[in-house]
Amino acid sequence: MSLSIPCVLMRAGTSRGPFFLRDWLPAGDEARDQALIGAIGASDPLQLDGLGGGSTLNSKVAIVSRSTRSDADVDYLFAQVGVGHQSVDTRPNCGNMLSGVAPFAIDQGLIEAQGDTTTVRVFNVNTSSLVEVKVSTPGGQVTYEGDARIDGVAGTAAPVLLNFLDAAGAVTGSLFPTGQRIDRIDGIDVTCIDSAMPLMMLRASDLGLSGRERPAELDANTSLLKRLEALRLEAGHRMGLGDVSDSVIPKPVLVSPGNTPNSITSRYFTPHRCHASHAVTGAIGVATAFALPGTVASGPELAPGAHGLVVLHPAGQIDVEVTVDGQGDAATVTSAALVRTVRKIMQGVLHLPGYVFPPTAPSQPEKTGGQGLRSFPQREVHIIVPTSAGGGNDTIARHLTRSLGPVLGQSVLVDNRAGANGSIASEYVASAPADGHTLLFGYIATHAIHPALQRLRYDPVADFAPIGLIGHSPTLLVVPADLAVNSVVELVQMLRDSRTRLSYASAGEGTVPHFAAELFQLQTATRLQKAEFSGAGPAIAEVASGNVQLMFPSLFTAQPYLRSGKLKALAVAGPERLTAWPDLPTLSEAGVQGVEMTQWYALFAPSKTPPAVVRQLNEALNRVLGDPETAARMQADGARVQTSTPGVLHDLLIAEAEKWNAVVHQAGLRPQVSAD
């Protein structure tokens, strides 16, 4: 397999990414996706090792080929590549990247120019829909220079006209997939519409918003984001999309009145952050809902014919021309067209890193005690991390993979699958093939605390084969550096005296930061407001910025902020003081009993993994942990290495289950049934 392939990097609309002919990429979807992961640099949240820009807007790929359909000239497959996790999702669609498809196809000789303007019929593979694209081709050549301007992009360029011919039901097969134009979800009116992109639309005013808030202001509103996600999950079920917790569709959209009768204001989410401007496909859906009666976005009734509508967004506006057929409830939108611009940034050869591809040389077989010869590992090993990239678990896992791969003789990749408080990752590994190639980076939350608090769809003991402990890290009580307290006693007094309830940062239900804070409130007779985050990384960042007042992170997570002076530690939530922080008291010494939580980390395989494979993994893990450089690296980050046999880890799970079930019972915290 060649690791060097042709590539064209383009800015298309308000997105940017590499464009490939399908023939340039490896054959087969799996090898293709690995190439895209390498092209973008998906493993790293900053995407330093690829063309990505550390954002979903810059982690997009367009794959183009000649179409075999009689009604289309070229096929366009859009791929959304992960940011900080190795994933490729071809379920969504991107109209911005679509705007670069026709110029790219003409440049690469798939289509011949047709005079000064060339019309290209593009079949969108993701949505099985047709889009008519008009490109400026003076003298029979594509030009990127022109006077057209779009908001969110500096300068001007040649116009590219996109006409979405059959956008209705692009993904679900129905314009209003729930069968209604307005649904009522948790007391909120919602329009679930599928026009170029599945959307869940809400009136901003119904959530107490003006609808003109800046994206940063909306992103900082954690209660809003949590509410939107809960509504989105239910909307996904009603739209027939199933469990969308691990999908980017449907996209939430907040709408409010525009500046003129033919305009509407939109705040488009991607889905967990507000878009800095607006997606093209999202603008088609918003304009369609605005043009039709009976939705949360409906504007004045439109007569049959073409109408110029305006979607206002944080960076300006998108002009959409919709064609309406019929009137009243019988009205339909037969087409929607808008203008984008494109710029070719560079064309050349892209060199892909070899680590994204499985080695072609076979591994040496090993004897497996009566089972004949078995070769392990036969391909790359994936360590599934149940928290988001950038947190303590993710960092430790990446420390391991640097050394574990050479020991095993195969690539070892980190795959972040955050969500549902670790259940998504745990269920994924529990149901994976029991061959040792898919492992779970488990920790105290996934295999002790969370099972005590929730009735889960996985068993922390029966569904896994323990491989070995990795290490442990003490838990601290930390507050922002500028909070006017310097001891636990002062903090408790502030909590009791404050007229405004202060908040604590949770990294998810059943995690140590959540459980420790609940026990702290119980033991101190105080009340705190919970601020929920998808992992310890984003949670502690909000505490360091002063938006949240306290947290119980691991030393591993807190140490960089303690060193920079953005946080201060008030106590250790453990049985003894720390050697590196001898003046820091334990919570018990500070007068708060019953909050002792040392976080541990371990590696697990699916149950029924062959014992020989488990032994090989345990030996490799302990060899890596025994390396002084690995131990020093973890120690510097606030975690201590701890090796074990699989049996010792199994015994720990049994003891931890008894301990935390007893704590939950004594604290009066009732186990809940996890959501399906």
**pLDDT tens, position by position, 429-469:** 999 999 999 999 999 989 988 888 888 889 999 999 999 99
**pLDDT tens, position by position, 27-55:** 788 889 989 999 999 877 888 889 998 88
Q: Which residues contact 273 (CB under 8 A, 6 or more apart)?
A: 215, 219
List the single range of 243-247, 371-375, 665-669 with lowest mean pLDDT.
371-375
List the single range of 155-164, 459-468, 477-486 with lowest mean pLDDT.
155-164
Q: 367 falls in which pLDDT band (50, 70, 90)?
A: very low
Instruction: Please say if the pLDDT value at position 511 is more than 90.
Output: no
What is the pLDDT at residue 188?
96
Q: Would you call the peptide bond into 271 cis, given omega within 30 degrees of 0 as the criterion?
A: yes
Residue % of the chain over a pLDDT of 70: 95
What is the pLDDT at residue 455?
81
Q: Which two tokens stand for residue 553?
A: 């992170």
DSSP-based helix, strand, coil % in the chain, nearest 5 = 30, 30, 40
What is the pLDDT at residue 237?
93
What is the pLDDT at residue 670?
56
Q: At 487, give phi and psi (nearest 5°).
A: -155, 165
What is the pLDDT at residue 410?
84
Q: Which residues contact 93 (CB under 8 A, 6 or more apart)?
A: 78, 124, 126, 127, 170, 171, 196, 197, 281
What is the pLDDT at residue 10?
96
SS3 163: strand
What is the pLDDT at residue 358?
61
Q: 554 falls in which pLDDT band (50, 70, 90)?
A: confident
Q: Which residues contact 139 (CB under 8 A, 6 or more apart)?
A: 116
**pLDDT tens, position by position, 85-139:** 788 888 788 888 999 999 999 999 888 888 899 999 999 998 888 899 999 999 8
Average pLDDT over residues 572-578: 87
**pLDDT tens, position by position, 172-225:** 889 999 999 999 999 999 999 999 889 999 999 999 999 999 998 999 898 999
Q: What distance, in Å, lies between the first and last C-alpha atoms of the chain?
A: 42
Give me the helices (H) in 239-328, please.
280-291
**pLDDT tens, position by position, 617-667:** 999 999 999 988 888 878 776 788 999 999 999 999 998 888 888 877 766
DSSP string for residues in 370-387? SS-EE-S-SS-EEEEESS
More confident residue, 30 or 263: 263
What is the pLDDT at residue 637?
67
SS3 205: helix
Average pLDDT over residues 504-510: 84
Query: Can you say how many angstroms the Cα of residue 520 is from the centroid of all Cα atoms in its chain?
Result: 31
> Distance (Å, rounded) from C-alpha 160 to C-alpha 150?
11
> Distance (Å, rounded) from C-alpha 19 to C-alpha 645?
48
**pLDDT tens, position by position, 379-418:** 889 999 998 766 678 878 888 888 898 888 888 888 888 7
Residue % of the chain over a pLDDT of 90: 51
Instruction: Please say if the pLDDT value at position 293 is more than 60.
Output: yes
